[in-house]
Amino acid sequence: MDKFLIQGGQKLEGEVRISGAKNAALPLLAATILADSPIRISNMPNLRDVNTLVKLIAGLGVAIEYAGDTVTADTSTLNNQFAPYDLVKTMRASILVLGPLVARYGEAKVSLPGGCAIGSRPVDQHLKALEALGAHIEVENGYVHAKVDGRLKGGEVIFDVVTVGGTENILMAAALADGVTTIRNAAREPEITDLANMLIKMGAKIEGLDTDTLVVTGVESLHGCDYAVVADRIETGSYLAAAAITGGRVRTTHTDPALLECVLDKFEEMGAEVTRGDDWIELDMQGKRPKAVSFRTLPHPDFPTDMQAQIMAVNAIGRGFATISETIFENRFMHVPELSRMGANIQVEGNDAVVTGVEKLSAAPVMATDLRASFSLVLAALAAEGETLIDRIYHIDRGYEHIEAKLQGIGAKIKRVSG
């Protein structure tokens, strides 16, 4: 199993080119199922999760090709609507094929994703929403079987919790439904807007973009198009955090400051100088030790749960103390014991954590537990004295493209070791 060996203590400086967003790429791939002519999506990040979904869609009989940063898909050969447990269990986002399959083909059998490291993460809201559009749903032997006679019917969907995946699934389904669907309490993450924009390019009629009420007027068919994945705001924030924790200066390019305002505000509160360009962001920590900053994770446009672990790592070496409340997932502090092994002072009570900054972290063997938590360990290792070995980095390969090369490019001493 691959590990990272990181020699801490380098002040990171330079430029990082940001990739397409994993969390946008996955729903966009699922949406290819809706197109009745070939579709081409560029700026695809080369990630394990993207490969998993490409494999799953190929398994449906779709002629899908992934070369360079571009995926092309042609659904004319699709011959089944079955997503097996083997693939779904490795990636929860596989459930996103459910809405498109039932909307276009009237039937889908998709494995339940099951629990995951950061919480139980049910899909009840996805299913309830599809039922509101007339799908008949049975859950049996670990599979969701969804069926509809003819087309789905437009209807009123009111989510009980704000769900990113649920909003995406129903948005795709509603695009091909008969009549108007209103989605209330919809998630507003930029990746949802990216999906809506591609669906509109495919011929869908969607109003209310960037708001919590989406109104979709179903159409009979959707066609292919050319589309580029939006920049990854979480990758952007992660590399800016690498500058903050090492006292360095990093410019992220091919990104969009408007996607992560809330996180940039926190960097400024830390004492960093943040400069925003049209498609770049530079963070200069000017060799200073950041001030610890408090925050609460909430749905977009508030502070993203996917940046919680990284900012906690920066707080670990911050001046003063900070409180962090995780309100999205019930078990998303698994990086805390690992950061503590490196000398961090963090007390957890339920979904709240109090971080008291220490002057220095020290290298230790640690273990990655989930995708974003893994990056928090990389950050801690970059700032720590000595050489840190991070095990189970397959988690990080799910969501950070070319991570070693990007970090080496800004002066980090990181290498991948196997065994």
Nearest approach, Cβ of 189 to ligand UD1 (angstroms)?
A: 6
**Alpha carbon distances (Å) from 157 to 126, 145, 193:** 10, 20, 18
In the bound state with ligand UD1, the residue whose beta carbon lies nearer, of 317 and 336, is 336
Per the listing, tokens 């963070």 go with 283
Residue 104 neighbours by CB distance under 10 Å:
24
Parallel, antiparallel, or unpaired for β 143-147 and 156-158? Answer: unpaired
Nearest C-alpha neighbor of 62 from the set 73, 70, 53, 71 = 73
The residue from 58, 63, 116, 389 that is catalytic is 116
Count of residues in contact with ligand UD1, rule CB under 6 A: 22
In the bound state with ligand UD1, the residue whose beta carbon lies nearer, of 81 and 305, is 305
Q: Does 173 participate in binding ligand UD1 (rule CB under 6 A)?
A: no
Stretch touching ligand UD1 by CB under 6 A, among 164-172, 209-217, 221-229, 349-357 = 164-172
Give every CB contact of residue 278 below 8 A, 6+ residues apart in sequence.
none
Residue 27 neighbours by CB distance under 10 Å:
27
Q: What are the respective helix, strand and coil percentages of the chain, to the nearest 5?
A: 35, 25, 35
Distance between CA atoms of 134 and 323, rounded to whole angstroms? Answer: 44
In the bound state with ligand UD1, the residue whose beta carbon lies nearer, of 126 and 266, is 126
416 bridge partner residues: 4
**Alpha carbon distances (Å) from 32 to 25, 65, 76, 229, 270:** 11, 12, 11, 13, 42
Which string of x and - marks every residue 116-145 that binds ligand UD1 (by CB under 6 A)? ---x-xxxxxx-------------------
Give every CB contact of residue 324 below 8 A, 6+ residues apart in sequence.
294, 295, 296, 297, 308, 311, 312, 315, 352, 353, 354, 355
* Among 165, 257, 290, 318, contact with ligand UD1 (rule: CB under 6 A): 165
**Alpha carbon distances (Å) from 253 to 52, 174, 207, 277, 409:** 27, 35, 30, 9, 13
Nearest approach, Cβ of 14 to ligand UD1 (angstroms)?
A: 27
Q: Does 195 participate in binding ligand UD1 (rule CB under 6 A)?
A: no
> 145 in helix, strand or coil?
strand
Please say if 116 is a catalytic residue: yes
Q: Does 411 participate in binding ligand UD1 (rule CB under 6 A)?
A: no
In the bound state with ligand UD1, the residue whose beta carbon lies nearer, of 29 and 378, is 29
In the bound state with ligand UD1, the residue whose beta carbon lies nearer, of 168 and 284, is 168
* Among 194, 306, 338, 397, contact with ligand UD1 (rule: CB under 6 A): 306
Q: Does 99 participate in binding ligand UD1 (rule CB under 6 A)?
A: no
Q: Does 188 participate in binding ligand UD1 (rule CB under 6 A)?
A: no
Stretch touching ligand UD1 by CB under 6 A, among 115-123, 142-150, 270-278, 407-415 = 115-123
Q: Does 232 participate in binding ligand UD1 (rule CB under 6 A)?
A: no
Which string of x and - marks every residue 75-94 that binds ligand UD1 (by CB under 6 A)? -----------------xx-
User: What six digits make up the tokens of 151?
Assistant: 């087309």
In the bound state with ligand UD1, the residue whose beta carbon lies nearer, of 377 and 384, is 377
Nearest approach, Cβ of 233 to ligand UD1 (angstroms)?
A: 11
Distance between CA atoms of 91 and 113, rounded to whole angstroms? Answer: 7
Q: Does 328 participate in binding ligand UD1 (rule CB under 6 A)?
A: yes
Nearest approach, Cβ of 71 to ligand UD1 (angstroms)?
A: 16
Parallel, antiparallel, or unpaired for β 82-83 and 107-111? Answer: parallel
Q: Does 302 participate in binding ligand UD1 (rule CB under 6 A)?
A: no
Do 218 and 157 contact (CB within 8 A), yes or no?
Answer: no
Q: Does 333 participate in binding ligand UD1 (rule CB under 6 A)?
A: no
In the bound state with ligand UD1, the residue whose beta carbon lies nearer, of 25 and 377, is 25
∠94-164-240 over CA atoms, to 5°? 100
- Residues involved in catalysis: 116
Question: Given the rule CB under 6 A, which residues bind ligand UD1?
Answer: 23, 26, 92-93, 119, 121-126, 161, 163-166, 187, 191, 305-306, 328-329
